Structure 1
Amino acid sequence: MKKISKEKREMIIRRTLYFGLPLIIMAIIYAILHVYPFGKLSLLTYDMGEQYVDFFAFYKDTLLHHPSQLLYSFTNGIGGETLGLWAYYLLSPFNLILLFFPKSMLPVGIMIMTLIKYGCAGLALGYCLEKMHWTDQKWIPAATVCYALMGWILANEFNIMWLDVLVLLPFILYGIEKIFDEDRSFYYTIFLALTLFINFYMGYMVCIFVVLYFIWTAVRKWQNWKTFGKRAARFSISSLLAAGSVAFLLLPTYFDITKSKGVYTQQTIQSVIEYQPWKMLSKFMIGTINDNQIQNGFPNLFVGALIIGGFILYFLAKKIPWREKITAGLVCVFMFFAMCWQPLDLVWHAFQYPVYYPYRFSYLVSTWMILLALRGFAKVGKPKIYQLAITFIIPVICWIVIFINRKKFNFLTVPNAIATLIFWIVIFGIMTWMLMGWNKQIKKLNLQMLASGLMLVLIAAECGMNGYQTIKNIPGASEVSYTNFVANLDRDIAWINNQDNGHTFYRIGKTFQRSENDSLNAGYRGLSGFTSTQNAAVTSFMNSMGQPNYLGKENYTEGTLLTDSVMGAKYFLAPTDQFDNLVKNNNWVTPATSYRPDISFYGPVKQINGVTIYQNPLALSVGFAATKDVLSSKNNFPSSDFTADNQSYLLNTIAGTHRQYFDKVGYYTKMTNCTLDGGANGNLITTDPNQPSTYEIQLKNVGAEPYYIQLTTGIVWNSSITINGNSMPGMGNGSQPTLFNVSANTPGQDVTIDINPNNGKTIDLNDLEVYKFNLSAFEKTIYSVMNNQWKLTHNGRLQLRGDIDIPHDKDVMMTTIPFNKGWSAKVDGQKVKPREAFGTFLAIPMTPGRHHVTLSFWPPLLTLGIIVTLITWAILVLCWRYEKKK
């Protein structure tokens, strides 16, 4: 067996350290914080719990069972293209780790994957620093810890798809160095392409940064203008080739985004400073994260005391030319303003305000500081006293400013501030020892090696403390809240799937949920969805129907018998005792999100583990005959104030009728510690803010029909609401008032609805109405629509086929499939251009009579993207051969 050389053995030890130290530090933190399997908590908090874990379940299902879901899935909201979903969330190679974990164990798989990403980030930087000969070896281990555990990654570890960028970024920068040192660009092209492929959003930010890095490198390695021109051309062409090599993904994703996230792009930009810039200094301290900071805070800039010292020394080092320092300074100024001046901030975020997690590009600022710090250590030589003094005093002055104003920072604690100062003083002392080169021998003990080891321990302790204090401040989630819910829901869905043959297209609704993406997790056609690539037209439609919604999110929690039927909700899941379920605490199996007594009109067909499955006999198929009045490229519902009018308009326009489905009813009121200013729909004003107040609505001797109360977002957000004494779940996101079901199938009973203002807030009761559902009128209309439905003969994931009879008074086959230009239609074998219905759905004009209709899906621009990618790959092969010969 060949003996490993000492040099190679040392290299293996170093790189194991680069990988292992960040991983071990974070594993210890997870254990201390009782993250499963070390305790009962999980990493499923914020978007990790509300989105990503469901995406990972979808990822497993796609790769192992249904590969067509790479392009489209009806489990994505009410149906949607998924290439954008994959491009934004699911293309990390680390995700393959999750294939080895059953769905119930995904929280453990996610934790392991997160730890591995921490380790790989440290390894990537250490490897590339060695290859670039960037600095002395003694600084690299500590730098890898600072890089892998920077404040940005800790604050964003729950956005797990972003973390890959820290693994890829060092290789991209190394590739730029190769352009200058070896006149080779293939390395750079490949790693930039990988970054764009794995997460185009982070890749976009990297593309901005590499331009800055290239300019700085060109100045640092300046020869002449001719050489610069050649390298700039090589860099530009290589960047375009990187994008072209993944055009098969980027082009259809771009199209998808224009119909989803891109709709919310800022049309006007204000030249404003977003906060007092000096406040960002607070983010260099330990433990400066809390819930408010995640929602709308300052840039996450923690990099550790060592990096701050080296960063200052860079600008004091005499061996570094002034032109390089000036260029680096200009880059710093650009990044500084990007972190506080709105126009530049928006540029980094592709001209969209981030929803939570502000200044998402700050990892590039931290990386930039680390690189300059290490170059400073390499070039400063043996520092002068004044250089050390300046390096020490500047952070201390900044610390004093922040500490004096600490009450302005609700995330900063005195112990963490003091710990920051102590670490700075001690690390500065050891840094000085290492820079001065004091190297005495004490009993064969090399003090320089001792200092390097001690520095690494201190950096690990500092970054570890910051990691602990950061993650401790982020609300955790119970592991069983996922596993118990998923296990129970999977049983319900499996039973339903066994009842219907494969030709039936139906959707499933629920009065409980773990997240809006339950349908993606359990693999059923649902009615809610939450992704950054969610179809904006669907969100707008759901808003018009009174469903809670927000950017990229629609939550079908407050449906009515009318919307259930039109949207094809054939099955509904609810706790066996809905009313009792409202008061249960820590209920991980059926956490209530709505109260729908009206589904009692559907027949209960099965009970499984406390859940009743109802079957809706009036649910429409995915397609049905409709009047041509449904055709519109805009959401043209008549009212932004009265949701019942919009729902009536929806069904009447489909059927060509003019019926009233919601009848306003009177009610009695009783006020306790409050008065009404402006009549029944005026402002509810609390008399004594220190005492509870209640606005009570009484419905006497109700009929058997469903009753709904219309409440605005302002009422829902600013008060607690009870029905007959039990708290009513509900979310008010959205501009449209919501219809809350308060009674059904309880003839002769009284219903009491209490609105209790929070903390004495004034409540605007504008648009508050109570309705009785006109069941007989609704049944007449819905039965007429059911007579002419699309009867599927093939229910595929990318193609639907079936027959429909269009009566003489109808002109259109309308579907509840979201409109997308990727859908093509054939009627009786002839191509027909699909149209939009209600600015949301796919519709096909056709003549009266019996027709065979085929719908097929292929993502827009995918074919063009594939062609561009193949051409680019051919060019890259030629470039690789050329560089190899060279």
Structure 2
Amino acid sequence: MIWHAFSMPNGYSQREAYIILLVLVTIGYIGSTYVSSGYINFIIAGIIWSLISIFITYRWNFLSNQQLLVDILLIIIEILAIILMYKKSKKYIWLFLFIILGEIGFSYYPRENAIAQTSIPMDSYIKLIEVNQNVLTKLNKNDHSFHRIGSTIQLNENDPLMYGYDGLSTYVSQQSKESTNYLSALGYYQKHSWIRWSSFNNGSTAAVNRILGLKYVIAPKNKNLLDATISGKSMSTSDSAPNFPKGIKENSDDFNIYKDKGALPIVFKIENTAKNVVVNYNPVDNPFLKLNSLFLQGFGISNMYQEVKSSLIKQNEVSKEYVIDVVSDGNVYCYLPIDQNIVTESSIKVSVNTYNNNVWGENGIVYLGPYKKGIKIHVNYESKDTQSINPVFAVEHEGSLLELNKFRKGIADIKVNGDLISFDKKTEDTNLAISVPYDSAWTAEINGKPEQTYKTLGGLLEIRVIEKGKVNLKYNVPGLRVSIIISTISVILLCLCLVLKRNS
């Protein structure tokens, strides 16, 4: 976690900023100044530590590793520098600076150069950020409610961090395993490799997107801008048809903005049985069965998804074609149940009725479009890695989707400010869900009186209250107060040691 705290965003040279290396070198230097005699023991300890590190990192294959042989040579030079420093003068400590710079140049320059050569061109990156900010400014000006945003393209694994919006378009390794598994089980990114963890893939189903407050999707329409983003080969940039059924399109100069008026606010009502929802993640399971159970127990909506039978009519080495009969009006989806140990680095192209409407379909539930009952559609997916995998198809019932609207009533004046969520409860309903991951560090009050929080819908936060009034939810970072105290004491002791050393 320390590494991640100093090394974000992922995929950029800032991650190789050597801040931790600088801290360790500084600690080593301060420690070496206390060694006024017995430097041989100091050297021996360094050699032993280096050998242990070599064994842990490379085992017995180190003689065939060019990088390691150079590291060993540098260690020998460092030992000679230490001997020279203690035999002659401590001014030779500056030799270590050149050794470290040489190691950085040898070990990291090729990697950083490769990233620089394959990243999006700077002018295109600046242009994309500028036009994105224009879109976000427009959205925030016209909509002051808390909402989440998706994007059909991806520059890196931290898009919301770079673009400055509350999104669902990323996986970051700081978040808990429970949150990652929960979102994957709901049909978002699937955990088959770190690349596959990261892509938003235009969301899950319309119903899942709505309970998580996904209100907007931004899709670029400027071809030059889009081509520039795709040219960055170091990141999994993609461009897919927005999974926003019957969304309202708002135009800007460079983007289409899709709005879903059915998205639920961050606080919404749920059924008493929502606490019984269990969501276990397994990428080979049928996600539509899990979602049916979630919406039945959480909202009392039965048969949100109806599985659609399919027939394989054509297959070759790189593609499969299926024909399916739509059994009811609604949004049609497919999902590829791929074992987590199978890594597919190539994208899976999905097309419907010869029209290519999704080019990043391997990453979760794939939206095929809205169709009427009785329509036959042909679905073709291409992938050289997954020809043994049979997709699962399902239709999201149009009427069931509309039933979610009634769960937004009774909540007003919702405000989100950092670690505080507040709202007015206008009814006496007892069960409310908050679309943030459950964490025991959340505390709740209604009209100034403390209330218990719970886990609901398999992974979200719930509060149960039987009265009307003002509700406040606050997140208290676990261990923050203790860490502040420890850090303060440590800084005081460090300053005291430095003063005593100078006086002596």
- 1:794 matched to which residue of 2? 415
Mapped contact 2:182–2:280 kept (Cα < 8 A): no
| Pairing 1:61-210 to 2, within 5 Å after superposition | 87-89=5-7, 158=13, 160-181=15-36
Supply the distance in 2 between the matched residues of 1:816 and 1:548 (Cα, whole angstroms): 18
Q: CA deviation at 1:334?
A: 1.9
What residue is the counterpart of 1:820 in the other structure? Answer: 439
What amino acid does structure 2 have at the position aligned with 1:792? D
Amino acid at match of 1:698: V
Cα offset, 1:804, TM superposition: 2.1
Query: Conserved in 2, the CA contact under 8 Å of 1:716 and 1:730?
Result: no
The letter for the 2-side match of 1:786 is R
Q: Name the aligned partner's letter for residue 394 of structure 2.
A: Y
Post-superposition Cα deviations, 1:316-345, rounded to whole Å, max 9, x if no partner, equal xxxxxxxx66x5653443233122349xxx
Give the drift of 1:162: 4.8
User: 1:682-701, aligned counterparts within 5 Å?
Assistant: 686=317, 693-699=318-324
Q: Is the 8 A contact 2:217 2:257 kept in 1?
A: yes
User: Is contact 1:630–1:653 with CA below 8 Å preserved after alignment?
Assistant: yes
Report the Cα distance in structure 1 between the residues aligned to 2:169 and 2:221, rounded to whole angstroms: 22
C-alpha distance 661-639 of structure 1, shift in aligned 2 (>3 A): farther
| Contact 1:620–1:786 (Cα < 8 Å) also in 2 | yes
Check conservation: 2:283, 2:337, Cα contact below 8 A.
Answer: no
- 1:270-309 correspondence runs (5 A): none
Distance in 2, matches of 1:85 and 1:378, equals: 32
* 1:89-126 deviation digits (Å, cap 9, x = unpaired): 36xxxxxxxxxxxxxxx9xxx9xxxxxxxxxxxxxxxx
Distance 2:487 2:109 in 1: 44
| SS of equivalent to 1:859 | coil
Q: Are residues 1:594 and 2:240 paired?
A: yes
Q: Is the 8 A contact 1:517 1:529 kept in 2?
A: yes
For residues 863 and 699 of structure 1, the distance between their equivalents in structure 2, rounded to whole angstroms, comes to 58
Return the offset for 1:660: 0.5
User: Per residue, is there more helix in 1 or in 2?
Assistant: 1
Q: 1:861 offset after TM fit, Å?
A: 1.0
Asked whether the 8 Å contact 2:428–2:465 carries over to 1, the reply is no
Correspondence list, 1:66-465, <5 A:
87-89=5-7, 158=13, 160-181=15-36, 218=38, 220=40, 329-341=47-59, 368-375=75-82
Letter in 1 for 2:120: S
1:309-708 matches, within 5 Å, as 329-341=47-59, 368-375=75-82, 476-479=118-121, 480-501=123-144, 504-550=145-191, 553=197, 555-557=199-201, 558-575=203-220, 585-586=227-228, 592-596=238-242, 599-604=244-249, 606-631=250-275, 635-636=279-280, 641-655=285-299, 657-673=300-316, 686=317, 693-699=318-324, 705-708=330-333
Over 3 Å counting, the alpha-carbon distance change for 1:85 and 1:511 in structure 2 is farther
Alignment partner of 1:728 is 2:345: no
CA shift, 1:562, in A, is 0.5
CA offsets per residue over residues 676-716 of structure 1, 9 Å max, x none?
A: xxxxxxxxxx4xxxxxx532123468976221112233699
Structure 2: gaps spanning 5 or more residues: 89-100
Q: Which letter does structure 2 place at the counterpart of 1:654?
A: G
Secondary structure (helix, strand or coil) at the match of 1:532 reads coil
Q: CA offsets, 1:758-789, max 9 Å, x none?
A: 2xx672234x2222220112212x0221224x
Q: Distance in 2 between matches of 1:716 and 1:749?
A: 34
CA 1:491–1:631 in 2, change beyond 3 Å: closer, same or farther? Answer: same
Structure 1-normalised TM-score? 0.47
Is the Cα contact below 8 Å between 2:171 and 2:180 reproduced in 1?
A: no
The alignment status of 1:770 with 2:393, answered yes or no, reads: yes
- Check the 8 A contact 2:210/2:263 in 1, yes or no: yes
Following superposition, the deviation at residue 740 of structure 1 comes to 0.9
Alpha-carbon distance between aligned partners in 2 of 1:85 and 1:333, rounded to the nearest angstrom: 23
Asked whether the 8 Å contact 2:347–2:362 carries over to 1, the reply is no
Partner SS, residue 13 of structure 2? coil
8 Å CA contact retained: 2:146, 2:265: yes
1:869 paired residue number: 487
Tell me the equivalent position of 1:784.
Answer: 406
Per-residue Cα deviation, 1:447-469 (whole angstroms, up to 9, x for no partner): xxxxxxxxxxxxx9999798776
Structure 1 Cα separation of the partners of residues 254 and 482 of structure 2: 51
Counterpart position of 1:831: 450
Match of 1:129 in 2: none
> Which residue type is aligned with residue 286 of structure 2?
F
> CA shift at 1:164, angstroms?
2.4
Cα distance per residue 1:325-377 (max 9 Å; x no partner): 6x5653443233122349xxxxxxxxxxxxxxx9x999987764441143467
Q: In the alignment, is the contact (CA less than 8 A) between 1:542 and 1:554 conserved in 2?
A: no
CA distance in 1, matches of 2:293, 2:254: 37
Provide the C-alpha distance between the structure 1 equivalents of 2:113 and 2:281, rounded to a whole number of angstroms.
47
C-alpha separation in 1, matches of 2:326 and 2:280: 37
Given candidates 736, 742, 753, the residue that maps to 2:368 is 742
Higher strand share: 2
The change in CA–CA distance for 1:160 and 1:370 in structure 2 (over 3 A counts) is: farther
Q: Residues 546 and 175 from structure 1, CA distance in 2 versus in 1: closer, same or farther, beyond 3 angstroms? A: same
In 1: Cα distance, 2:81 partner to 2:139 partner: 61
1:824-855: CA deviation from partner (whole Å, max 9, x where unpaired): 211121112322224522211222x4232101
Q: 1:176 offset after TM fit, Å?
A: 1.4
Question: Could you tell me how far apart the structure 1 residues matched to 2:331 and 2:241 are?
Answer: 12
CA distance in 1, matches of 2:25, 2:451: 51
State the superposition RMSD in angstroms: 4.4
C-alpha change, 1:846 and 1:699, in structure 2 (3 Å) is same
Give distance in 2, aligned partners of 1:870 and 1:471.
Answer: 36
Matched, 1:842 2:468: no
Shift in Å, 1:805: 4.0
In structure 2, do the counterparts of structure 1 residues 772 and 483 end up closer, same or farther at CA, with 3 Å as the change threshold? same
Instruction: Please state whether the residue corresponding to 2:294 is helix, strand or coil.
Output: helix
CA distance in 2, matches of 1:740, 1:511: 13
Note closer, same or farther for the CA distance 1:793–1:379 as it changes in structure 2 (3 Å cut). Answer: closer
* Closer, same or farther: CA 835–366 of 1 in aligned 2, 3 Å: farther
The residue aligned with 2:91 is none
Report the Cα distance in structure 2 between the residues aligned to 1:463 and 1:860, rounded to whole angstroms. 36
Query: Aligned letter for 1:770?
Result: F
Counterparts of 1:659 and 1:463 in 2: how far apart (Å)?
A: 60
Q: Show CA shifts across 1:162-200 (max 9, x none).
A: 51244444432221122222xxxxxxxxxxxxxxxxxxx
1:649-700 CA-to-partner distances (Å, cap 9, x unmatched) read: 2222222x14101122234432244xxxxxxxxxxxx4xxxxxx53212346
Return closer, same or farther for 1:670/1:481 CA change in 2, 3 Å cut-off: farther
* Displacement after TM superposition at 1:622 (Å): 0.6
Q: Residue type matched to 2:52 in 1?
A: F
CA distance in 1 between partners of 2:501 and 2:103 (Å): 44
Aligned to 1:199: none
| Aligned partner letter, 1:482 | Y
Q: Percent identity?
A: 17
